[in-house]
Structure 1
Amino acid sequence: MLQIDLWKRVLIWSLCALGLIMALPNGFYPRVEAHNDATASLEAGFSGNGLEEQAAMWPNWMPSALVNLGLDLRGGAHLLAEVQVEDVYETRIKALWPEVRNLLRAERATVGTIRLQPSDVSELRVKISNRDAIQEAATLVRGLAQPVVSLTGAGTTDLVVTTEGDEIVVTLSDAEKLATDERTVQQALEIIRRRIDEVGTREPTIQRQGADRILIQVPGIGSASELKDIIGTTAQLTFNPVVGRAGSADAAAGAGNEVVPSLDEEGVYYILESAHVVSGEELVDAQPSFDQNGRPAVSFRFNPSGARKFGDYTAENIGSPFAIVLDSEVISAPVIQSHIPGGSGIITGNFSVEESTNLAVLLRAGALPAGLNFLEERTIGPELGQDSIEAGRIACIVAFAGVLVFMFLSYGTFGLFANIALIINVGLIFGLLSMVGATLTLPGIAGIVLTIGMAVDANVLVFERIREEVKAGRGPARAIDLGYEKALSAIVDANITTFITAVILFAMGSGPVRGFAITLGLGILTSVFTAIYVTRLIVVMWFERRRPKTLEV
């Protein structure tokens, strides 16, 4: 019997209304976007600059979730970066010297005096005065080696220790280099993601390409250079003992030392010990602040390990200068006045408020483990994105109009019912996209256009079945009931196979392919819902009102 319970009718229309209400903000995109940005700024404690007026541009009681526009629609910045994994080898080798020195000093009676020798950046050379004890010393150094943490390097160690005359040569093993490369790229990927998220950009695309490259696409950002300013700085912070000052970069530093330029004082260089006391990796927090003179600065706090090392060093070196080094530049070299317990302090320099804020963001997100070489950079202007949106809109309108006309000419009144469901279907798609926070790209618009064409397939199956039942002599009510009943299995089977394809595209694909898969998958769900429930409900309501003696489908 052609009958739908009242509670089902209420539920169907409620779901349609909810979906259309969620899609409504996308019809007022600039206004709602300004409202959302202003509301977020006000919640963060900012005021003025017309924020209150912008926040009032959209009612607070209305939904304000928007479909995020991808890079090809909104414009933004595109970067392809190559991670300089070799930088990490040099850092690892430099960090080994204090450990090797302390280890051999404990055996000075046997190995004699110890001297660091000039060498290539990929190796550590240590000379001992007692040549006869070279093998014993090498054995001691081999004890510093650790197992390689990787599947391919199982059973190997991270250090290779050899001897040449009275020198011990320490290098990284090939297995450790491979494992280090993998860790470095993954760490760089995560830090880039954290830095971009700190700035509050919408739906960035950050993914690995190949062995050592990272693709970064950020919609809505002004230019590629602006994006490089956010992620291009390694922000490697270290605290190094000061050996002395120099007048040029070519000054003799001595083994185990390095010459580093001053950031604020032109022509001034510092000779520092290469081995740092504590590094930015041990920071747990960094916030913009002001020093005692009211100048912008950055306050920081170390974890327990870093706090202990920082406190011990300041207690033992009162009266000595201590350099704060950021990306191989000394930003300040204060003299230690007293013991600094607790592991917190402040970085001062000639900062502006914006620079101190950006530095705090970089330090808080973490230091990049290696430098980035930008192989490709593009700024996609919003006018190109607007062209894409306009082209997509025209395609949707043409497809929509073509389907509406075809359905009306083919099925008359029933085609009109299908058209009403199709309009609801498109609204539901945008409502779901807004609810899940999906990103709409140009391929995503193609998915919507495809969904519009596919959305009427289920209705076509139903209407053709109803036609067959009418020709077989069934009454109007029975023909409609059997039409939906017999078409159901075909509708479900056809859409399940397409939905599986969309799921596979989403799982295996990336970027534009995922955007297409999302809109296609959501479109299938809404199409089945509108065909099986919404269209049927409209037909039932029409039948109950008109009670036709015959059907013309």
Structure 2
Amino acid sequence: MILGASNAFASVSGTHILLRLDGDELISRRLEAVRDQIRMLLRDVQPRIDYSGLAASGRAVQVRIDDVYQVEAAKSALKTLTDPVAGIQEMALDGSEPGLLKVTMTDAGVKSRTSVALKQSIEIINNRLHDLGVANAVAEQADEDGILVQAPGVADLQKLGNILARPGRLSFQLVDTSMTADEAVNGRPPAGATLIYSADNPPVPYLIENRVIVAGKNVMDAQAATNSGGGEPVVAIRLDSRGTERFKWATTQNIGKPFAVILDDHVISAPIIREPIEHGTVQISGNFTAESANELALLFRTGALPARLTIVEEAR
């Protein structure tokens, strides 16, 4: 139990929270993945297919095939995107405009993705409620894109809602040291890197390599703790075998380089790699309080929500 004994969760009857799934973000994230798939599928074709204008917009990803004689080969390469999965055709391919191919998310695909995301979100929210120690609380689907959280024992409903709705997307990525963050802010970040800011006030910019070394899905467990030096709050996480292998490789190859911990598009810590970390247990520090360390451990342990959730109602 992390927060169950807190005054924030003192007994108040009849409380509930209504959350709404952000369908636009869900579609956008799916189309980003489809765009990357298209890039890989066209890259692997022999002879090579030259293309331009690969971009996602609305509910479609479009790409222009430079050589009209390669359009049929491109269609064949992209066919796997339109194959039904579990009886549902998620994507449709349109080549009616010469040289332009459009991969569009179908209504059935949107409905299926939304249904799956809701089920995953409800499972994660129930896990968070359990870990928080909120008695008699339960999350269930409401309408086509809503989640109703019944929490009869909660006084601070806003605080609970904020924890339940946090995306919890975690990644470990290397800091790009080819230029300073200030140079990137005043100019242009190099290819393969992005400016990401901390949640401080004022925010601190970091130039981060786009490649994700270890993701939240590689976290098997996370617990709030205190470091052995000054007793400061930290979060200790344990990685699975894949995450351990990747972390060992990254810390062995990049000694002396900063390694950023990114949560929900903000850098929460960027320590310098001092030595290889081979055992799969990582300690994260970052000026945490005991409460924030507990909350971070909860998010890492229960995993990331598949899409953004918005609080649309809090009522008693």
Which digits, 9 at most, give the CA deviation of each residue in 1:479-519, with x for residues without a partner? xxxxxxxxxxxxxxxxxxxxxxxxxxxxxxxxxxxxxxxxx
Which digits, 9 at most, give the CA deviation of each residue in 1:447-501, with x for residues without a partner? xxxxxxxxxxxxxxxxxxxxxxxxxxxxxxxxxxxxxxxxxxxxxxxxxxxxxxx
**Normalized against structure 2, the TM-score is what?**
0.77
**Residue matched to 2:294:** 357
Unaligned 5+ runs, structure 2: none
Which digits, 9 at most, give the CA deviation of each residue in 1:230-282, with x for residues without a partner? 31211111234545635798975688765432223734334545564442133
Map 1:70-81 to 2 at 5 A: 74-75=12-13, 77-81=15-19
Tell me by how many angstroms 1:286 deviates: 1.0
Counterpart check, 1:193 vs 2:126: yes
Q: 1:137 to 1:271 in 2, by over 3 A?
A: farther
Q: 2:155 aligns with which of 215, 222, 243?
A: 222
Map 1:499-518 to 2 at 5 A: none
Tell me by how many angstroms 1:101 deviates: 3.8
2:93 and 2:103 in contact (8 A); partners too:
yes
1:287 and 1:357 in contact (8 A); partners too:
yes
Q: 1:178 aligns with which of 111, 129, 135?
A: 111
1:194 and 1:365 in contact (8 A); partners too:
yes
Counterpart check, 1:92 vs 2:25: no
2:171 and 2:261 in contact (8 A); partners too:
yes
CA distance in 2, matches of 1:159, 1:185: 20
Q: Across the two proteins, how many residue pairs are aligned to each other?
A: 305
Tell me by how many angstroms 1:302 deviates: 2.7
CA distance in 1, matches of 2:145, 2:26: 13
Tell me by how many angstroms 1:299 deviates: 1.7
1:148 and 1:179 in contact (8 A); partners too:
no
Which digits, 9 at most, give the CA deviation of each residue in 1:159-213, with x for residues without a partner? 3344566665444333222111001111111111111111112111422211111
Q: 1:280 aligns with which of 216, 227, 242?
A: 216
Local SS of the residue matching 1:300: strand
**Residue matched to 1:370:** 307
1:240 and 1:323 in contact (8 A); partners too:
yes
Map 1:469-480 to 2 at 5 A: none
Q: 1:213 aligns with which of 128, 146, 165?
A: 146
Q: 2:92 aligns with which of 160, 168, 173?
A: 160
Unaligned 5+ runs, structure 1: 1-36, 42-70, 381-553
Find the structure with the greater CA-based Rg. Answer: 1
Tell me by how many angstroms 1:312 deviates: 4.7
Q: 1:330 to 1:183 in 2, by over 3 A?
A: same
Counterpart check, 1:269 vs 2:205: yes
CA distance in 2, matches of 1:249, 1:377: 39
CA distance in 2, matches of 1:260, 1:106: 32
1:248 and 1:267 in contact (8 A); partners too:
no
Map 1:21-40 to 2 at 5 A: none
Local SS of the residue matching 2:312: strand
1:94 and 1:274 in contact (8 A); partners too:
no
The one-letter amino acid paired with 1:286 is: A
Which digits, 9 at most, give the CA deviation of each residue in 1:5-34, with x for residues without a partner? xxxxxxxxxxxxxxxxxxxxxxxxxxxxxx
Which digits, 9 at most, give the CA deviation of each residue in 1:90-120, with x for residues without a partner? 22233345544444444475224x6674542
**Residue matched to 1:441:** none
**Normalized against structure 1, the TM-score is what?**
0.47
The one-letter amino acid paired with 2:267 is: V
Counterpart check, 1:324 vs 2:261: yes
Q: 1:298 aligns with which of 218, 230, 235?
A: 235
Bigger share in helix: 1
Q: CA RMSD in A?
A: 3.7
Tell me by how many angstroms 1:345 deviates: 1.9
2:195 and 2:208 in contact (8 A); partners too:
yes
1:125 and 1:168 in contact (8 A); partners too:
yes
1:79 and 1:377 in contact (8 A); partners too:
yes
**Residue matched to 1:399:** none
Q: 1:320 to 1:239 in 2, by over 3 A?
A: same
The one-letter amino acid paired with 1:160 is: A
Q: 1:118 to 1:320 in 2, by over 3 A?
A: farther
2:18 and 2:311 in contact (8 A); partners too:
yes
Local SS of the residue matching 2:109: helix
Q: 1:186 to 1:101 in 2, by over 3 A?
A: same
1:148 and 1:176 in contact (8 A); partners too:
no
Tell me by how many angstroms 1:326 deviates: 0.8
The one-letter amino acid paired with 2:26 is: V
